[in-house]
Amino acid sequence: MTKDQEENINDYGVPDPYDYKISGEQIELNPGPKRAIATGAILFYNGDQPMKRLVPIKKKRKEESRRSLAQWWGIQTPTDALQCLRDLHTTGHRAKLQPRLHSDPARWRPHFDESDFLRHRQVGSVAGWDYARIVNLAYWTRDVGLLDDDTAFHYFNVGAKLALREFNSWEELAVSFLAGRVMWSPDDIEGHQILGGFAEYLLTAQNNVWVECPWHEYEEWWD
């Protein structure tokens, strides 16, 4: 890792936030929202999206993100964004995937074992896949102007509190998130390995948001 990347991790939580206007106006995050955003850290790290402060997105990345939201989520309007967030909150993929895991865990163990991260870890829940994505999707749709700050921050808090209610550590969240991802797309072994590598980094490196935001230290900051 270069010196610039290390400095970016210190300042933004990710090594290469160059699709963001890091020289422009920024929102410095207080401990509460920073801790909430850390719930989605694996995907934020994957997308080099700043986690320690909110930074305006560059025009090209914004246009690309708009297209991706339309393609993968069917989101083109604020109403679409809110509906997807509500669906993740109330049902998400866990409504179908969790019963499948419970009814036939032996079927899924070989798929989990293809992930270096999951191979020696027990899987009991896939809800983390939804909880982290609530935070990710709220951030993403705010980035492109489909959500205002108040609504995005509300859903940051929603995802964080759901995860805190069900899990006891960042590791448990990471296992659940990656297991849900495997069940959602079993054949994307390369993608699972990449995300698993980010999870391992976040759990072990000293210079990251999961170390800065201990699991149980969460003060209520949003009504």
Handedness of CA 216, 17, 12, 3 (dihedral sign): positive
Q: What angle do CA 109, 181, 114 make, to 5 degrees?
A: 40
Which pLDDT value is given to residue 132? 98
Q: Can you give the pTM of this predicted structure?
A: 0.95
Which pLDDT value is given to residue 208? 87
Each domain of the chain, given as residue ranges in start order, spans 3-212
Which pLDDT value is given to residue 130? 98
Which pLDDT value is given to residue 222? 63
Helices and strands: H and E segment counts in the chain: 12, 2
Which pLDDT value is given to residue 179? 98
Rounded mean pLDDT for each run of 10 residues along the chain, 223 residues in total:
90 94 87 94 96 95 97 97 98 98 96 97 98 98 96 96 96 98 97 97 90 83 63
DSSP state of 38: G
Which pLDDT value is given to residue 65? 97
Which pLDDT value is given to residue 218? 74
Contact 136, 92 (CB under 8 A): no
Coil, strand, or helix at residue 47?
helix
Q: Is 201 exposed, middle or buried (0-12, 13-18, 19+ CB in 10 A)?
A: middle
